[in-house]
Amino acid sequence: MKEAAFTIVYPTPQTFMEHYQAVLAMIPETRSFPGCLQACVGLNQKRLEISVFHLWETIEHLDDYMTWRAERGDLDARSATMRREQEFRTYSVPEPLPHLTPAP
């Protein structure tokens, strides 16, 4: 089953562009990591948020990627210049998507 990962980064106003550039620099490595199907970055300058979306072949691929990033120190490298801790969420993506019946 595919796995989707969403991260929201909350840089300070002074470090917003530095964080954005750092995230953009990580995207090519992410896309070439085994099992990565997609990696995208979104910005909201008014809220000073950077969002990262990944789609992985399996949860194991995502776990391998997160371990690799943690071992390199990439996940903590910019935490001192964030106004709050980043959020990270994962979701399993069933195939085919099940038909959902609305609740009465």
The boundaries of the domain holding residue 32 are 2-93
In a domain, 104, yes or no: no
**How far is Cα 77 from Cα 67, in angstroms, rounded to an integer?**
15
Q: Side-chain half-sphere of 38: how many Cα atoms within 13 Å?
A: 10
**Radius of gyration, CA atoms only, the chain:** 15
> What is the count of structural domains for the chain?
1
Question: What does the pLDDT profile of the chain (104 residues) look like in tens digits?
Answer: 999 999 999 999 999 999 999 999 999 999 999 999 999 999 999 999 999 999 999 999 999 999 999 999 887 777 878 899 889 999 999 877 667 777 67
CATH of the domain at 74: 3.30.70.100
**How far is Cα 68 from Cα 78, in angstroms, rounded to an integer?**
17
Closest by CA to 84, choosing from 15, 5, 21, is 15
